[in-house]
Amino acid sequence: MRLENKVAVVTGAASGMGKSIAVLYAKEGAKVVVSDINQEAASAAVEEIRSNGGEAVAIVANVAKEEDIQNLIDKTVDTYGTLDILVNNAGIMDNFEPAGDIVDENWERIFAVNTTSVMRATRKALPVFLEKEAGVIINIASAGGLYGARAGAAYTASKHAVVGFTKNTGFMYATKGIRCNAIAPGGVETNIQSSMTGFNQSGMERIQPGLAINPRVGKPEEIANIALFLASEFQALSTEPSLPGMRAGQPINTDC
């Protein structure tokens, strides 16, 4: 029960990695808000959690919309009294387009879901975290946020932005009792390909060497275990100097 009495919001939690994170968090004692654009699938995930003795509610949200994110966090606090953990998991793919083939509409849609939603949800949650000087933010980035040969230009740029946003947020709030980390999976067995509208043939062929570096396709449950570790309580700040030149209370690894 490593998350006993914690309240967690997981976006994109009706399937894939998000669902696995929500199910595991509930198993570990958290009260989980299952957020997704798919109401039926979100409700099914909640029923699964409840059938296993966990506590959860579903809140439908399109994370590309500011008003939905506002409603998501407000309803969470109204329901459970607080928020302890925010997992920004919702994401969509591009069609492997290189820069020369990008259409503005697709670029804006991908950034709205993959990047702007992470900022907005974080911004909305921070006043709750700052008031109690405690909170955890976990962003699902991607190997595409670290390397250039995993997806098209739009998805790659959106996930690189998530990595940068995570680093800055982790640093800015490290002394306020707030942790912010990102997980950057490679290929994982999810339904994210359903968000694609086709394949850019030349782009798909070009990224094959990058995809081939992945030793195997991951399981959503493996990502959930990492998300559990990051949400669990561990020593985030040094209370006594332990390294030469370190000040008491100095944040550790705030740029990772």
- Residue among 25, 80, 147, 155 flagged as catalytic: 155
For the chain, helix, strand, coil in percent to 5 are 50, 15, 35
> Minimal CA–CA distance to 167: which of 139, 126, 132, 133?
139
The answer to whether the CB of 73 falls within 8 A of the CB of 121 is: yes
Please name the amino acid found at residue 32: V
Contact criterion met (CB below 8 Å) for 122 and 135: no
User: For tokens 């850019």, what's the residue?
Assistant: 200
Q: Is 147 a catalytic residue?
A: no
CA 249/CA 251 separation, integer angstroms: 6
The residue type of 34 is: V
What whole-number distance in Å separates Cα of residue 162 and Cα of residue 119?
A: 9
Residues labelled catalytic: 155
